[in-house]
Amino acid sequence: MTILKNHSLLNYNTFGIDVTAKYLALVNSLESLNLLLSNNLYSNEEKLILGGGSNVLFTQDQNSLVLLNQIKGIKVESEDAKSWIISAGGGENWHDFVLFCIKNNYAGVENMSLIPGSVGASPIQNIGAYGTEIKDVFEWLDAYHIPTGEVHRFLHSDCNFGYRDSVFKNKVKGEYFIIKVAYRLQKTATLTTSYGAINKALEEMNISIPTLKNVSDAVISIRQSKLPDPKQIGNSGSFFKNPIIANQNLQKIKENYPQLSTYPVNENESKVAAGWLIDQAGWKGKTINNYGVHKNQALVLVNYGGATGKEIYDLSSEIIQSVKEKYGIELEREVNVL
Ligand code: FAD
Ligand code: EPU
């Protein structure tokens, strides 16, 4: 296993922030992870797990042992009349896994095409897009418990999935290294095309009976029209979560802002489009030196090159403050600030 000392993390985070890691270990198997973490040399070091670095904002050098998940391998675990259980190593690239599923006609992840990052991080914030979330296809995961070296299997009910949330962001945060995730994928697809602009994109592509690949292509084209490509402009996708507000309180806000974009979550609560709030508060496209708010999507903060994590963090604090003053709504960061 490769262990690099005082190594730059510039190429390991999509925000393009240049900080260093005290140690950076490229972990490609459970055995090497076990060997590394049982080595006394590193036992007192803080551990930080990193996949594709597409949901982190580094605000300082990482005085820790950074464990880069590169555990690969895709396997058909089992099948029944209706579905397959497919497992993938945590270090597999998520979008490559989605493409593999589409190629083999495994249905259920096509709406989550082009989400950057690793398979291992997919359960952490219960990734989602265009009407589907990981929790809809998740079966189980295996994770290495850093304090004891034991491998534990988490079933769906153990993960406490919520909107951009799971037990791994809360109760057991930082304790487990996810090595493998298994998903239940369907033999007969129930396509979700009503969300957002998918149907419109399919129409434009002249497709009336879509395949998994068609839906994936539609999602990809919508995403490419809205979201900046991290290879060109540093970013971590949505910087904030869409806030969930009690309908009672929403009524009052809507009296002043009838155009407010909202979606029902349950009988009593609705999700508010944070992109709309930030946009209407005048932040969209705002640039300060070499960083700012993206011109097509106000929920995305961007680094045009050379910005520090602290500058972007401070900008996010200003946005939170301004949205709170204007609408009385407190935004929560989605990105993991480190
Ligand atoms: P990292 O950024 O490396 O890590 C994220 C967090 O998970 C960190 O706290 C890290 O310590 C922890 N972690 C990572 N791997 C493991 C592991 N194996 N075991 C334990 N902990 C781990 N997200 C969505 O949900 N929907 C979207 O539509 C979406 N669109 C995006 C678009 C763009 C352009 C970008 C840049 C990001 C987008 N994201 C989206 C966010 C991001 O893609 C997801 O959060 C993704 O799951 C992050 O994966 P990663 O491997 O890069 O995680
Ligand atoms: N909007 C504006 N101005 C903006 C941006 C958005 O008015 O600058 C409005 C749009 O017009 C639309 C609404 O806000 O009415 C929602 O916008 P969009 O469809 O772009 O989705 P989003 O709520 O901003 C969420 C996820 C994305 C996911 C998409 C598609 C969160 C925090 N974000 O974005 O996930 O890809 O829906 O499902 O839930 C991510 O988590 O990193 C991410 C990109």
Residue 295 confidence class, pLDDT cut points 50, 70, 90: very high
What percent of the chain is predicted at pLDDT more than 90? 97
Look up residue 279 and give its amino acid.
D
- On whether both 151 and 115 belong to a single domain, the answer is yes
Residue 292 makes CB contacts below 8 A (sequence gap 6+) with 285, 286, 301, 302, 304, 315
Ligand nearest to the CA of 294: 2
Across the beta sheet with 83-89, what order do the strands follow? 74-79, 83-89, 176-186, 138-145, 150-155
| Shared-domain flag, residues 57 and 79 | no
How far is 287 from 293, CA to CA, in rounded Å? 6
Cα of 200 from ligand 2 centre, angstroms = 17
54 and 97 co-located in one domain = no
Ligand 1 binding site (Cβ under 6 Å of any ligand atom): 14, 48-56, 69, 90, 115-118, 120-122, 124-125, 127-129, 176-178, 227, 230, 235-237, 336
C-alpha distance from residue 93 to each of 99, 105, 114, 229 (Å): 10, 18, 10, 16
The CATH number linked to 251 is 3.90.78.10
Pair 141, 81 in one domain: yes
Domain identity same for 64 and 80 = no
Ligand 1 atom nearest residue 229's Cα: 34
CATH of the domain at 158: 3.30.465.10
Residue at 305 is within a domain: yes
Span 22-51, mean pLDDT? 96
pLDDT 10s digits, 154-185: 999 999 999 999 999 999 999 999 999 999 99
Q: How many domains does the chain have?
A: 3
pLDDT digits (tens, 9 = 90+) for 223-241: 999 999 999 999 999 999 9
CATH number of the structural domain spanning residue 30: 3.30.43.10
Q: What does residue 143 show for φ and ψ, rounded to 5 degrees? A: -135, 140
Q: Which of 244, 259, 242, 239 has the alpha carbon at shortest distance from 299?
A: 239
Asked if 153 and 52 sit in the same domain, the reply is no
- The predicted pLDDT at position 39 comes to 93
- Give dist(CA 303, CA 312) in Å, integer: 8
Whether the predicted pLDDT of 195 surpasses 90 = no
Residue 196 pLDDT > 90: no
Look at residue 207 and tell me if it is in a domain.
no
CA of 122 to the centre of ligand 1 (A): 7
Ligand 1: atom nearest CA of 236 is: 36
Question: Which pLDDT does position 81 carry in this prediction?
Answer: 97
The pLDDT confidence band at residue 41, using thresholds 50, 70 and 90, is very high
279 lines ligand 2 (CB under 6 A): yes
H-state helical runs in the chain: 30-37, 40-43, 94-103, 156-159, 198-204, 212-226, 247-256, 274-280, 309-327
> Does residue 89 lie within any of the structural domains?
yes
| Range of the structural domain that residue 59 is part of | 2-69
Average pLDDT, the chain: 96
Q: What is the pLDDT of residue 1?
A: 83
**Which of 69, 100, 123 is the last residue before a domain boundary?**
69
Considering every ligand atom, which ligand is closest to the CA of 129?
A: 2
Indicate if ligand 2 lies below 6 Å from the C-beta of 336: no
158: helix, strand or coil: helix
User: Picking from 91-95, 251-255, 280-284, 317-321, which range would have the lowest pLDDT averaged per residue?
Assistant: 251-255
102, pLDDT greater than 90? yes
Residues 329 and 272 in one domain: yes
Distance CA 154, CA 206 (A): 42
Average pLDDT score over residue span 246-262: 92
Which residue among 69, 97, 117 closes a domain? Answer: 69
Q: Is residue 116 part of a domain?
A: yes
Distance (Å, rounded) from C-alpha 80 to C-alpha 42?
A: 44
Any idea which residue has 């700012």 for tokens?
292
Q: Are residues 179 and 248 in the same domain?
A: no
pTM over 0.75: yes
CA dist 243 and 278 (Å) reads 12
Do residues 180 and 239 both lie within one domain?
A: no
Q: Answer whether residue 205 shows pLDDT above 90.
A: yes
Cα–ligand 1 centroid distance for 157 (angstroms): 21
Cβ–ligand 2 distance for 228 under 6 Å, the answer no
Q: Which two tokens stand for residue 109?
A: 């992840």
- Identify whether residues 173 and 240 lie together within a single domain: no
Is position 107 within any domain? Answer: yes
pLDDT over 90 at 329, yes or no? yes
Q: What is residue 261's predicted lDDT score, i.e. its pLDDT?
A: 85
Instruction: Give the mean pLDDT of 282-293.
Output: 97
Tell me the percentage of the chain whose pLDDT exceeds 70. 100
In a domain, 130, yes or no: yes
* Whether residues 239 and 329 fall in one domain: yes
Of 87-96, 141-150, 247-256, 303-312, the poorest mean pLDDT is in: 247-256
Residue 226 in domain: no
- Compute CA distances 213 → 74, 101, 165, 221, 244, whole Å: 20, 10, 28, 12, 32
Q: How confident is the model at residue 104 (pLDDT cuts 50, 70, 90)?
A: very high
Within a domain: 211: no
86 with 58, same domain: the answer is no
233 half-sphere exposure, CB direction, 13 A CA radius: 19
* Active site (catalytic) residues: 164, 238, 334
pLDDT grade for 259, boundaries at 50, 70 and 90: very high
Task: Verify whether ligand 2 is closer than 6 Å to residue 242 (CB atom).
Answer: yes
Last residue of a domain, one of 186, 212, 247: 186
